[in-house]
Structure formats: C-alpha cells, structure tokens
C-alpha cells in the first residue's frame, strides 16, 4: 500500500488532519493514563479502584462486566463530568490569562508529539522510514524547545489566579522546570555526540538515534544507549520526573502545603486541560526516553524491528510493519508510564529546598561530569 497520495494533498488539508490525528491519539491516551493512574494507585493500596461505572444501554453485552470491573467506562464518566460540569471563573482573576493558561498548557503538550517517531516501516523505495508527523532534523531540540514552553502555562495560571497558593505554586514550578532542564539537556548530549560520528552530517533527529540502536546481532550499534550510558539515562529519568511535575517532584501542585498549587482556582474543563497536558507530557517524555535509551521500536537489543518484520513476512506491507513498530513502541511507553505511576504511589514528595538541592548541587554536576567523561570516551573511541 502506498500512502504517497496523502503527501500529494495540499498543505491546508494535511495540517488539520494531522492536528486532528494528534488530538485523537493523545487525548484518549491521556485519558487512559488517568484511568490507569486510578487503578494502579488503588491496587497498590489494596483497593479495587473504580469498578462500578457502566452505561446501562451497553451493560447487557457479554464481557462488559470485565471492562466495568477494570473501570474502563469511568473514562467516559470522567470526561463527561469535566465537559458538562459548571465551570466557574472566580471574580478576582485576570480573566484573559486565566482562560489562556490551560490553552497554553495544551499547545506544547500536543505539539511535541509531532516530532516524535512512533515506529518505522520500509517504504516502497526500500528505505526504512519513520512513522512521524514532522520528520525534522532538529528533532530532540524541537521537543525540548517546545515542551519547555509549558512552564508559561503554569506561570500564567498562577499569576492570573490572583491568589497566593496558585502564585506560590507557579513560582516553584518555574524554578523547578528551569533547574532540571539544564541537567536534562546535558544528559542527552553524549547520545548525540555518539551518533554524530565524525564525517557524518550533524543531526538531532530522533529517528537517527533509534537507527543507531538497530544493529543486528552482537554488534556495537545493537546495544541500546540505556546500557552504554546508564548515568545519562538516570539523569534524564530524574529530570523527566521533574519536568513532568510528577511525584516526587510535583512542587507546583503540592496539595499538602499549597492546596492545589497553580490550578487551585481552576475547575471543570479548564482544569481537565491541565490534567491532560500533564499526561501528554508524560507520554511524550516517556516516548523520548524510550527512543533515546531503550531502542525505540526495536523489540530487543540486537533484534531490530526490520529483522522481526522480515521473520514475520511483514516487511513488504508498510501498514502492518508500521503498526508492529507502533505497538512495540507504545508497549515500551506504557511500561514506562506504569513506572511513572509506580514511583508516584511509592515515594513521598520532596521538600522544595530538597528539589533545588538535588537539581543544582547533585544532578547538574553529575550531568557535567557525565558529559565530560563521555566526550573524552567518545573522542577516544571514534578517533
């Protein structure tokens, strides 16, 4: 099957379609995450979690009971609630920015996914091609650049709320996001030092990163970067927790001392936008981590996707191979999101000073040391 006809569409048709695709993929994913979060937290606390919701008109269908016990329909109930409940705007807020903030939160969360490849297929030209919305060379840089714009929504929300807890939450959030962005960026540099071998044209493309982990058999380039650069992976992981405002780094919300942090004054649909944005960040962040350090859509180190597809006789059908790649990739992302939640329901929240301490005094020096070490090592190896 050839999808080239799609690329012949004019831009004004393609862009809305792609945008819609992003929303249609990410919103259900984020919603599923919220559901997963509730079930996982419940199971970790010896509870069954939400298991009652079902629409009466479908209750008679066999097997619905299992879905009901899994809380699947709670998703729809939550979504309906957020959509239809009254959405008050407090009288003391700056209305314009107050409404703008959740919209701003959604934009980077949805945008970054455009440069994340979800899988790969062999095109008609015999070329391994990424399943991606925008295959740009700046790749990771685009992710970093756009996702860090998310902090503006937090700042805006906190400031526009015109109330002390949201304000404190947003100040904390901005400080935290900036602090950990440094370590995060430094931690991925070794990966790109490695893939940009001398003589090749420079790239920050995430597809290329996966390509460098797609060696067959016992080869140097079949090892995932998570194994060759564990410290980088660790720093990136910690920073990712901080960047996505997840426990133990959820300073901006910090219910115990700030009521609800930056979204204290928000409710209903606007609040749900923040909520979805957080999960989108999580999904994209997990995706980036998987691409950088866990081999992307490659099923196992030394067993790349195109090899598996060849064994399964799927290499000739781009659609199936793409689907296989996406499935493997999303499986890894899902496992990683489970890890996010697992950590959340295990660890207590850090104190604010501890967050700053870790960010500046521990993580940043470690990242710099790590960079220097790998710079020297890579220089020696690739000489």
Footprint on this chain of another protein (rule: CB under 8 A)? 40, 43-48, 342-343, 345-347
Identify the sign of the CA torsion 301, 338, 292, 21.
positive
DSSP collapsed to 3 states, 3-63: CHHHHCCCHHHHHHHHHHHHHHHHHHHHHHHHHHHHHHHHHHCCCCCCCCCCCHHHCCCCC
Using the minimum distance from each CB to another protein, give the nearer residue, 40 or 122. 40
We find the least distance from the C-beta atom of residue 247 to another protein, in angstroms, to be 12
Using the minimum distance from each CB to another protein, give the nearer residue, 92 or 361. 361
Residue with the two structure tokens 């992302």: 333
Strand residues in the chain grouped as ranges (E): 119-122, 128-131
Using the minimum distance from each CB to another protein, give the nearer residue, 154 or 367. 367
Any residues with CB less than 8 A from the CB of 316 and at least 6 apart, and which?
122
Report the C-alpha gap between 53 and 312 in whole angstroms.
40
We find the least distance from the C-beta atom of residue 46 to another protein, in angstroms, to be 4
Using the minimum distance from each CB to another protein, give the nearer residue, 45 or 127. 45
Using the minimum distance from each CB to another protein, give the nearer residue, 343 or 378. 343
We find the least distance from the C-beta atom of residue 363 to another protein, in angstroms, to be 12
**H helices of the chain, where?**
4-7, 11-44, 64-70, 72-84, 95-111, 140-147, 150-160, 164-195, 206-211, 225-228, 230-243, 255-258, 268-293, 305-311, 318-344, 352-357, 364-381
We find the least distance from the C-beta atom of residue 347 to another protein, in angstroms, to be 6
Using the minimum distance from each CB to another protein, give the nearer residue, 3 or 43. 43
Using the minimum distance from each CB to another protein, give the nearer residue, 14 or 69. 69
We find the least distance from the C-beta atom of residue 179 to another protein, in angstroms, to be 18
Q: For residues 244 and 281, is the Cβ–Cβ distance under 8 A?
A: yes
Residues 31, 33, 37, CA angle at the centre, nearest 5°?
120
We find the least distance from the C-beta atom of residue 345 to another protein, in angstroms, to be 6
We find the least distance from the C-beta atom of residue 43 to another protein, in angstroms, to be 5
Report the C-alpha gap between 115 and 206 in whole angstroms.
8
């Amino acid at each position: 099957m050839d999808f080239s006809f799609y690329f012949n569409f004019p831009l004004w048709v393609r862009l809305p379609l792609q945008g819609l695709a992003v929303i249609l993929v990410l919103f259900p994913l984020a919603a599923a995450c919220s559901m997963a979060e509730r079930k996982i937290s419940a199971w970790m606390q010896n509870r069954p979690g939400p298991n009652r919701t079902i629409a009466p008109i479908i209750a008679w269908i066999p097997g619905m009971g299992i879905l009901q016990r899994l809380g699947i329909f709670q998703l729809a109930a939550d979504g309906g609630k957020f959509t239809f409940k009254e959405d008050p705007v407090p009288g003391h807020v700056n209305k314009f920015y107050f409404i703008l903030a959740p919209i701003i939160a959604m934009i980077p969360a949805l945008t970054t996914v455009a440069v994340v490849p979800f899988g790969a297929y062999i095109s008609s030209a015999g070329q391994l091609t990424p399943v991606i919305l925008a295959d740009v060379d700046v790749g990771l840089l685009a992710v970093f650049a756009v996702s860090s714009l998310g902090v503006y929504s937090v700042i805006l929300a906190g400031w526009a709320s015109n109330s002390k807890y949201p304000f404190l939450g947003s100040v904390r959030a901005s400080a935290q996001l900036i602090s950990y962005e440094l370590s995060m960026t430094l931690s991925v540099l070794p990966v790109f030092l490695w893939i940009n071998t001398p003589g090749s044209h420079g790239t920050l493309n995430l597809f290329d990163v996966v390509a460098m982990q797609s060696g067959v058999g016992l080869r140097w380039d079949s090892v995932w970067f998570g194994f060759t650069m564990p410290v980088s992976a660790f720093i990136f992981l910690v920073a990712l927790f901080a960047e996505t405002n997840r426990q133990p780094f959820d300073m901006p919300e910090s219910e115990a001392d700030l009521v609800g942090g930056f979204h204290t004054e928000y409710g209903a649909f606007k609040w749900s936008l923040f909520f979805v944005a957080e999960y989108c960040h999580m999904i994209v962040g997990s995706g980036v981590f998987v691409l950088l350090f866990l081999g992307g859509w490659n099923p196992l180190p030394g067993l790349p996707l195109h090899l598996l597809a060849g064994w399964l006789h799927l290499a000739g059908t781009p659609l199936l191979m793409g689907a296989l790649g996406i499935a493997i990739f999303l499986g890894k992302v899902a496992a990683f999101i489970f890890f996010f939640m697992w950590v959340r329901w295990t660890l207590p929240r850090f104190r604010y000073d501890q967050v700053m301490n870790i960010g500046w005094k521990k993580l940043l020096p470690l990242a710099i040391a790590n960079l220097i070490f790998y710079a020297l090592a890579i220089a020696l190896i690739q000489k």
